[in-house]
Structure 1
Amino acid sequence: MDELFLMNNLWVMVCAVLVMLMQGGFILLEAGSTRMKNAGHIAGKTIFTIGIASLVFWAVGYGFIYGEGNLFIGLSDFFFGDFTTMFDGLAGSIDFFFQLAFAAIALTIAFGGFAERAKLSAYIVFAVLFSAFVYPIVAHWIWGDGWLAELGKQDFAGSTVVHLTGAMAALAATILLKPRLGKFNKDGSVNDLAGHNQVYTALGVLILWVGWFGFNAGSTLGVDGAFFGYVALNTQLAAAAGAVAALFIAWAILGKSDVPTMLNGALAGLVAITASCAFVAPWAAVIIGLIGGLIVFFSMKFFDKAKIDDPIFALSVHGVAGVWGTISTGFFATPELAALNGGSAGLFYGGGFSQLGVQALSVVVCGAFAFIASYVLLLVTKAIVGGLRVSEEEEILGLDLSEHGSYGYPESMPEKEEKAGA
């Protein structure tokens, strides 16, 4: 068997594991960013999210994305299991696992909009529906030789496919679930329902940062030419610029170097470079990450003023930064890299408005589809489980106890445990 074939498959398999381990980063990020009484619930929810996403992706998701069909949906390869299948020069099973890891990340992002007030049953039903009917359709349009791919849409590792899609589902959830108790006062002022552990949040961001090299560099799908190193370089520079920019903008405006803002700035830089990491020069990666870090700060403030309660900042980090990352290739894509990876050169390299227009179109269409489809499916979920949100009493008690009967930190709130068991 060809040595390069084996090396490519080994590389992608390692990167798939890195992407899967990003779920550990999300556990720490989301648990640390929310209150202690919901920490166990959030951690456990992430694990069954992976389980449901895996089964649904195996049954229908992969087929809807990569199966033979039309420009809008795939219609074959359901219940994937043919070990002889080859895709993009990889063993089919390895490509399947790599793509599955991405689908699970999109679902985890979507669930950021559910945090601290959604029923466990709502998570379960929506996980099935989103994994079957939202993410695969957008992914087919862009990565499965769909109609946006035909137009030359550039999204190397998923600023649109993964991050914007997940964020639009999170937006639909935050609107239908309404804000957490105590988040907004009658006069419109905002209460800071601070997360319980910034150390967890920071460690979660670092794990995500490392896992992102599997996300972006792994999307080269091979080691030939070592192009994955170039993609990794752009990823690192954008994340660094995002963290630094967010730190300084918060310091300048708030008078304090706010830690959550800095952490979200790093993530925003990562999200922003995800589409363009294979299309732009390193100096452009710095600019893309820097702008991502700046806009995430203002976006977080905007959603608070709009009374949209987004506990994990999924809308800002994955949504707004995902939009910017998608658009950025229309400005910064170089002719050489566009020729290598698809699409056309960006506006700043003499490519005109053609690629920029395709990128903007993809944001509008994919964002609208993901939001509308998720909103409708959440209404279906609501009808199936009898409401999306827990009762006020259950929310005050915390989802650890009300949904699971045990507390994530059992030694910290003995009185509540005794009350729950009475």
Structure 2
Amino acid sequence: MSQEMFVVNNVWMMVSIFLVFVMHLGFATLETGLTRSKNTVNILFKNSMVPPIGLITYTLWGFSMMYPGESFAGSFFGFSGFGVSLPEGGETSAYNEGYTFWTDFLFQGMFAATAATIVSGAVAERMKLESFMIFSVLFVGLCYPIVGMWKWGGGFLNTLAVPFYDFAGSTIVHSVGGWGALAGILLLGPRIGKYVDGKIKPIPGHSIPLATIGVFILWLGWFGFNGGSVLSADPGAVSRVLVMTSLAAAAGAIGGCIVSLFMFRSSDITMVLNGILAGLVGITAGADQMGVTDSVVIGLIAGALVVFGVVIFDRLKIDDPVGALSVHLLCGIWGTLAVGLFGTLAGVDQLISQLIGVGTVGAFSFIFAFVVWYALKMTMGIRVSRKEEVEGLDIHEHSMHAYPDINGSGFDLSQEQEAIIAEESKVKTTVSS
């Protein structure tokens, strides 16, 4: 490889790193917009801590677990030692497809934190901060690199007769986060006032503009997430991936819009926003293998799935404030299976391998997360008190408000919540008397 091509590859990979990094801002603004203002600082705090946790744990041991080489010589687990060491040849030696070791490490490290960020929104507005932080360390530091090794580190999913295929992480990143979120929600329970007398009570977020900004930042970041996963600056491959990624996102928006209009008789902006993300998640597993029609169909189905998912999870009383399960879990599974149904790899054997990958990664991720959440619940607890939840996590967990209002209270209590507080105050007064 020429020195010029080495530099071009390296620069493109660094640009992709910047784009993936910006996705964390997208997650922060999206989750903030779709939750209530009294929990804004809490959401921002978690999304500001997850990337540092991801990078540090990935540096200390995650990278060595995910890419162990021949160490431990296992198809299910490997570990090449603590820390990150330069390969022979030094800082500017060609690595992988012709970029530096440090560039590869940082690109992979940016991916690592995404799984825990997905969990953050799903358990929002009632999760203890310290419990979430501990979970994030274990989930990002152990679960993610183990399942990542199964495919990207040369593990058993990559050695099947027909190798499991996950180009940029519909399963390895997105559904892993979705399974972790599902385990947490089941043990955590719904927010106060969400399900009352057998009815589903909407709890709208406080800033649709913030949520919209977040989605478009994420769409921008996905150019690096998928485009960087080409692992080179190959003009044909990168261009193809960016086009297919955008088409799936656009189709996801249309699918979400049409299905929500049919189901709810209204043009729901949140379903369009989640439809865009659904299309992006759906195409991530096979963006380099799909054609124009394939990408549009995958995106349309993902956009429809996300609407049905939100409705089904609500009817099951699984409270997900931001729709993370529908976007990342359902559409992560769909996108992974779509590799066996569309594009250049389509076929029965490939579909079977995709099912094996979805099943094994899903089972491990859910069990791992459930055990960690359950241990935390039985020891330090995972849910804040009723009073803390009603008054908001910002003031109780962080001693501040994101938006101090004219009265200085910063609260945005609904009538239902005000009634709960009034009833509790009445009970306390009666007891005192």
Query: Any idea what SS the aligned residue of 2:42 has?
Result: helix
| C-alpha deviation, 1:282, in angstroms | 1.3
**1:90-131 deviation per Cα after TM superposition (whole angstroms, max 9, x unaligned):** 211111110111111111012222200111101111111101
Q: Which residue of 1 aligns with 2:396?
A: 402
1:298 aligns with 2:292: no
| C-alpha deviation, 1:134, in angstroms | 0.8
Is this contact kept in 1: 2:97–2:232, CA < 8 A?
Answer: no
AA of the residue aligned to 2:86: D
Q: Which residue of 2 aligns with 1:325?
A: 335
Give me the CA root mean square deviation.
Answer: 1.4
Instruction: Give distance in 2, aligned partners of 1:354 and 1:412.
Output: 63
| C-alpha deviation, 1:87, in angstroms | 3.6
Is this contact kept in 2: 1:81–1:93, CA < 8 A?
Answer: no
Q: Which residue of 1 aligns with 2:382?
A: 388
Instruction: Give distance in 2, aligned partners of 1:284 and 1:168.
Output: 26
Matching residue within 78, 83, 97 for 1:79: 83
Instruction: Give distance in 2, aligned partners of 1:66 and 1:24.
Output: 27
**1:42-70 deviation per Cα after TM superposition (whole angstroms, max 9, x unaligned):** 01210111111111111111111001232
Query: Any idea what SS the aligned residue of 1:278 has?
Result: coil
Instruction: Give distance in 2, aligned partners of 1:7 and 1:380.
Output: 48
Inter-CA distance 413–282: structure 2 relative to 1 (3 Å threshold): farther
59-68 or 157-166, larger mean C-alpha shift: 59-68
Is this contact kept in 2: 1:397–1:416, CA < 8 A?
Answer: no
Instruction: Give distance in 2, aligned partners of 1:412 and 1:356.
Output: 58
Q: Which residue of 1 aligns with 2:283?
A: 273
Query: Any idea what SS the aligned residue of 2:409 has?
Result: helix
* Pair member with larger Rg: 2
| C-alpha deviation, 1:89, in angstroms | 3.0
Q: Which residue of 1 aligns with 2:414?
A: none
AA of the residue aligned to 1:376: V
Query: Any idea what SS the aligned residue of 2:383 has?
Result: coil
Using the size of structure 2 for normalisation, the TM-score is 0.90
1:37 aligns with 2:38: yes
Matching residue within 176, 181, 184 for 2:195: 184
1:107 aligns with 2:112: no
AA of the residue aligned to 2:315: K
1:356 aligns with 2:365: no
Query: Any idea what SS the aligned residue of 1:414 has?
Result: coil
Instruction: Give distance in 1, aligned partners of 2:254 and 2:307.
Output: 12
Instruction: Give distance in 2, aligned partners of 1:19 and 1:371.
Output: 25
**1:314-340 deviation per Cα after TM superposition (whole angstroms, max 9, x unaligned):** 110000000000000001131xxxxxx
Matching residue within 230, 244, 260 for 2:240: 230
Instruction: Give distance in 2, aligned partners of 1:361 and 1:132.
Output: 24
Is this contact kept in 2: 1:117–1:390, CA < 8 A?
Answer: yes
Instruction: Give distance in 2, aligned partners of 1:366 and 1:235.
Output: 24
Structure 2's unaligned 5+ residue stretches are 412-433
Q: Which residue of 1 aligns with 2:428?
A: none
Matching residue within 248, 261, 266 for 2:271: 261
Q: Which residue of 2 aligns with 1:420?
A: none
Instruction: Give distance in 2, aligned partners of 1:262 and 1:225.
Output: 31
Is this contact kept in 2: 1:24–1:207, CA < 8 A?
Answer: yes
Aligned identity (percent) is: 42
AA of the residue aligned to 1:189: K
Is this contact kept in 1: 2:38–2:410, CA < 8 A?
Answer: no
**1:175-198 deviation per Cα after TM superposition (whole angstroms, max 9, x unaligned):** 111001111013x21000100111
Using the size of structure 1 for normalisation, the TM-score is 0.92
| C-alpha deviation, 1:226, in angstroms | 3.3
Q: Report runs of 4+ in structure 1 exceeding 6 Å deviation.
A: none
Structure 1's unaligned 5+ residue stretches are 335-344, 348-352, 418-422
Instruction: Give distance in 1, aligned partners of 2:76 and 2:101.
Output: 22
31-40 or 68-77, larger mean C-alpha shift: 68-77
Q: Which residue of 2 aligns with 1:220?
A: 230
Inter-CA distance 275–299: structure 2 relative to 1 (3 Å threshold): same
| C-alpha deviation, 1:221, in angstroms | 1.0
AA of the residue aligned to 1:279: Q
Q: Which residue of 2 aligns with 1:13?
A: 14
Q: Which residue of 1 aligns with 2:362?
A: 367
**1:304-319 equivalences in 2 (<5 Å):** 304-319=314-329
**1:258-280 deviation per Cα after TM superposition (whole angstroms, max 9, x unaligned):** 11011100100000000010111
Instruction: Give distance in 2, aligned partners of 1:155 and 1:25.
Output: 23
Instruction: Give distance in 2, aligned partners of 1:118 and 1:10.
Output: 40
Query: Any idea what SS the aligned residue of 2:275 has?
Result: helix
Instruction: Give distance in 1, aligned partners of 2:278 and 2:360.
Output: 22
1:175 aligns with 2:186: yes
| C-alpha deviation, 1:394, in angstroms | 0.5
AA of the residue aligned to 1:122: S
Q: Which residue of 2 aligns with 1:159?
A: 170
Instruction: Give distance in 2, aligned partners of 1:9 and 1:87.
Output: 11
Instruction: Give distance in 2, aligned partners of 1:369 and 1:257.
Output: 38
Query: Any idea what SS the aligned residue of 1:252 has?
Result: helix
